[in-house]
């Protein structure tokens, strides 16, 4: 197993591990965000989940690994960089991995920032999940010719569009550049969609309620993959969690907002945290 990773900043500074979501490589964390976090005094590490980017990939199809194995990958990356403890910032599936790490290796997790994620072992009434438009689009995967570059690009660009919220006009040029970068750097792009079938191996029912690390839940109000009710469930279930709902934001990562939240609005505030179980508020611009 090979895991591709990249670091920013000084290794002796407090560490932030960036965990990207399903099908996404480390490029989901923009360079600008990583550099900003490093400039604020953090040692930042992003990495490709297995089956994405330059990490090891498996043949397309149901994966033989579980989410717990992907959590082991996170800890292996930390070990490789000599990071004993870290702030974990997880997007979507990355947030699920972060919750498992917080419960299975609590001494290694300082805080959690869960972006567009869902509760680990949800035990309440069913929560809404992916909207029909996404399911319709993903149904095209069965007939995808991965050697047809323009067709693959169009498919991925549509994913970007479906993830976007209404808070700003969809920037097809910028999204296209992101897609091009991913395609250039992903020799086995089809394997990334194995993540859509990855399962939990163990019974985690209700376990997210046992998380003790300081936790910030960030969720787009217009998330079409994991609707905002998932963020509310995390907030109400994790003791002392804070909640930040971003109006006009979908299942996406606005770097100028996330950088400010993670650095000035959250991690640094832990030095004077009052422990109040109250929502944060912000305007997404």
Active site residue 92: yes
Return d(Cα 244, Cα 32) in angstroms, integer: 22
Specify whether 145 is catalytic: no
Identify whether 51 is a catalytic site residue. no
Kindly name the residue from 25, 92, 186, 191 that is annotated as catalytic: 92
Whole-angstrom distance between the N-terminal and C-terminal Cα of the chain?
A: 41
Q: ∠157-129-159 over CA atoms, to 5°?
A: 0
SS3 annotation, the chain: CCCCEEEECCCCCCEEEEECCCCCCHHHCCHHHHHHHHHCCCEEEEECCCCCCCCCCCCCCCCCCCHHHHHHHHHHHHHHCCCCCEEEEEECHHHHHHHHHHHHCHHHEEEEEEECCCCCCCCCCCCCCCCHHHHHHHHHHHHCCCCCHHHHHHHHHHHHHHHCCCCCCCCHHHHHHHHHHHHHHCCCHHHHHHHHHCCCCCCCCCHHHHCCCCEEEEEECCCCCCCCHHHHHHHHHCCCCEEEEECCCCCCCCHHHHHHHHHHHHHHHHHHCCCCCCCCCCCCC
Query: In angstroms, rounded to a whole number, what is the distance separating the alpha carbons of residues 155 and 189?
Result: 12
* Candidate list 7, 48, 223, 224, residue with the active-site label: 223
Q: Return the active site residues.
A: 92, 223, 251
């Amino acid at each position: 197993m090979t895991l591709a990773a990249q670091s920013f900043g000084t290794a002796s500074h407090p560490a932030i591990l960036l965990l990207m979501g399903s099908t996404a490589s480390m490029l989901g964390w923009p360079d600008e965000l990583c550099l900003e976090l490093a400039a604020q005094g953090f040692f930042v590490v992003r990495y490709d989940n297995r089956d994405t980017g330059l990490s090891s990939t498996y043949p397309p199809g149901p994966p033989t690994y579980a989410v717990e194995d992907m959590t082991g990958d996170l800890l292996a990356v930390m070990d490789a960089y000599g990071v004993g403890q870290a702030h974990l910032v997880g997007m979507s599936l990355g947030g699920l991995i972060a919750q498992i790490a917080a419960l299975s290796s609590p001494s290694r997790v300082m805080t959690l920032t869960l972006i567009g994620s869902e509760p680990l072992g949800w035990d309440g009434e069913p929560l809404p999940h992916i909207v029909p438009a996404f399911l319709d689009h993903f149904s095209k995967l069965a007939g995808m010719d991965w050697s047809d570059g323009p067709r693959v690009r169009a498919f991925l660009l549509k994913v970007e569009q479906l993830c976007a919220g209404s808070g700003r006009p969809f920037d097809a040029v910028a999204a296209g550049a992101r897609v091009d970068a991913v395609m250039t750097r992903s020799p086995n792009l089809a394997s990334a969609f194995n993540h859509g079938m990855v399962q939990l191996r163990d019974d985690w029912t209700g376990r997210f309620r046992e998380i003790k690390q300081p936790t910030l839940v960030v969720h787009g109000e217009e998330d079409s993959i994991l609707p905002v009710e998932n963020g509310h469930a995390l907030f109400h279930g994790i003791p002392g969690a804070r909640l930040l709902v971003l109006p006009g934001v979908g299942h996406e990562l606005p770097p100028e907002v996330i950088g400010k939240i993670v650095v000035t609005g959250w991690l640094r505030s832990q030095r004077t945290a009052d422990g109040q179980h109250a929502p944060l508020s912000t305007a997404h611009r």
